[in-house]
Amino acid sequence: MKNIIFLLIAIMFLSCKEDKVSKKEVEKIVKLDKVVLIFNQRSYKKDTLYASDGSYTLKRDKPISYTNSNTYEKVFLNPHNVHKSDTITINTDTPLVINHRYHFYYDSSYKVNVGDTIVFNYPNDAPYVSILNSTKKNDYNVEVDYNLSHAVYKGAIEFYDEHDKRFRTQEEKKAYRNVLKENIIKKEETLDSLYALKKLSNDYYSFLKTTIHYKNKIIHSDYKADEIELKNDSLLFIQSYQHFLNSFTFKHFDISYFKKGYQSTPDYLSLYDSIEHSSLFSKKIKNYLLYNTTRNIIKNYDQSKVTKYSNRFKQEVKDSILVNRILEDFLLDFSSLKTETADVNLTNLAKERKTLNEVIQSHKGKIIYVDFWASWCVPCREVMPDSKKLIQEYEDKNIVFLFVSIDTNFKSWKKAAKDENIIYYKHSLLAINYPKATFFRELQLKTIPRYLIFDADGQLIHKNAPSPKSSDIRDLLDSYISEN
């Protein structure tokens, strides 16, 4: 063990020059029940698309994810490696599949084993991988090498900017799809050639071929599948297979869509019924499909349908991990509170219930600045550093800063709050009954971020207060402090 530790220290000093790594930190890395990911510094310059109507960067789009070994859902990673290296440790007892987007259109997949320590380096902002704790052949960079040498992707925004502000014609769309299809075929041929030359291991060749095979089926809109592949549980690790499965069920069961606001939403109730009564899938794959469909029902239907189908899910799926994840993520234990309208029902990290009115009353005599946000709201999260700076400036003043998330998913809120370093802030709360509460309707809270101010008597005096980033907010808060 000592030799391994000293070897790791030497390698890590070479790969992470900006960061000093202690012996204690390396000892933590050498554990067989974890996967350790070291993300070295990157710039995101190549991961940003510059267009006439603004820039679009992967930095805000959660470009890195892995497949959870218990629920087979995507878990997004958010390494803070713009200015220095960052290390993320994942507790797992099974292999993981990591997917990494880069250069805006491209992505590479990596199958990593328990006990692996993987280093991502970013020459030219593309992820090149090395394995610290293994002498096995490193196959991980085959896909990124191919992608960078076959730059064929050009999205609608890029095409629009390069062609006098017009989008592709139908013929141009067809031609572009053919280019993408041909590129997939070339990619598979390249893998076959490398494998024949023994430059790819059996395991990694099989993994990449399967990954690309299902990407190819999606690009070709080929949703045919035989009984073997619909009952092959080992494929569930692979994200392209998951995408294929979801598309297959929509097509096979001929699922219709309905209008929800400005969007067309699949009829997830019919989808659930069809999957539940089907004999096409293995038990594990059926559980995965029902799990995903139940989550979509919770997001898109009223509480009566949510209660009915979540109860059916609990009865049909005997996997306690999946059932408990549904209960915890969507706070189904609080189902009755979700439909209440009289007050805004809130919960904290410990799942203790309180109302907005109770919070306001408990801080009478103080100015209350409320920040409505959500994990998925990019503008909300961009001003979080300004919010925390504002809190520090007014730490000794008679002001309470309240963060209220309107997330529907407890886990998403918890992770985002942790990433923004407000998870343990006692005034960081999640709204349980958004948008049902009368308060939300009267406030017309349809877009966020949104900021409110309550005065020392608990009265709402600003329905659209300045943001923490604005130049007006300090003058406004100072004026209320002086009044009190």
Spatial distance between the Cα atoms of 39 and 18, rounded to a whole number of angstroms:
12
Number of neighbouring beta carbons within 10 Å of residue 324:
11
- Gyration radius of the chain over CA positions: 25
pLDDT tens-digit readout, 256-275: 998 876 778 899 999 999 99
Residue 77 in tokens: 């990673």
Residue 127: φ, ψ to 5°:
-80, 110
Cα 157 from chain centre: 23
The 3-state secondary structure of the chain reads: CHHHHHHHHHHHHHHCCCCCCCHHHHHHHCCCCEEEEEECCCCCCCCEEEECCEEEEHHHCCCEEEECCCCCCEEEECCCCCCCCEEEEEECCCCEEEEEEECCCEEEEEEECCCCEEEEECHHHCCEEEECCCCCCCCCCHHHHHHHHCCCCCCHHHHHHHCCCCCCCHHHHHHHHHHHHHHHHHHHHHHHHHHHCCCCCHHHHHHHHHHHHHHHHHHCCCCCCCHHHHCCHHHHHCHHHHHHHHHHHHHHCCCCEEEECCEEEECHHHHHHHHHCCCCCCHHHHHHHHHHHHHHHHHHCCHHHHHHHHHHHHHHCCCHHHHHHHHHHCCHHHHHHHCCCCCCEEECCCCCEEEHHHHHHHCCCCEEEEEEECCCCHHHHHCHHHHHHHHHHCCCCCEEEEEEECCCCHHHHHHHHHHCCCCCCCCEEEECCCCCCHHHHHHCCCCCCEEEEECCCCCEEECCCCCCCCCCHHHHHHHHHHHC
Residue of 471 and 248 predicted with greater confidence: 248
- Answer yes or no: is pLDDT of 51 > 70: yes
- Answer yes or no: is pLDDT of 6 > 60: no
Cross-strand pairs, 109 = 99
Asked whether 68 and 99 are in contact (CB, 8 A), the reply is no
**pLDDT band (50, 70, 90) for residue 333:** confident
* Lowest-pLDDT choice from 3-12, 27-36, 361-370: 3-12
**pLDDT for 233:** 92
Largest CA distance in the chain: 80
pLDDT tens-digit readout, 226-247: 889 999 998 998 999 999 999 9
User: Which structural domains are found in the chain, ordered by start?
Assistant: 2-137 (no CATH), 221-330 (no CATH), 339-483 (3.40.30.10)
If you search the block for the tokens 């990124």, which residue do you land on? 144
Number of neighbouring beta carbons within 10 Å of residue 336:
12
**pLDDT band (50, 70, 90) for residue 484:** low
Cross-strand pairs, 89 = 36
Residue of 314 and 1 predicted with greater confidence: 314
**pLDDT for 3:** 42
| Mean pLDDT value across residues 313-332 | 88
**pLDDT for 260:** 73
pLDDT tens-digit readout, 101-154: 999 999 999 999 899 999 999 999 999 999 887 665 668 899 999 999 999 999
| Mean pLDDT value across residues 401-423 | 90
pLDDT tens-digit readout, 196-220: 999 888 989 999 999 999 988 988 8
Asked whether 427 and 400 are in contact (CB, 8 A), the reply is yes
| Mean pLDDT value across residues 44-60 | 85
| Mean pLDDT value across residues 283-289 | 95
Q: Is the pTM of this model over 0.85?
A: no
Residues of the chain with pLDDT > 70: what percent? 92
* Contacts made by residues 270-275, CB under 8 angstroms, sequence distance 24+: 272/297, 272/309, 272/312, 274/249, 275/249
Whether the link from the prior residue into 63 is cis, omega within 30° of 0, is no
- β-pairing verdict for 367-373 and 450-454: antiparallel
- Answer yes or no: is pLDDT of 60 > 80: no
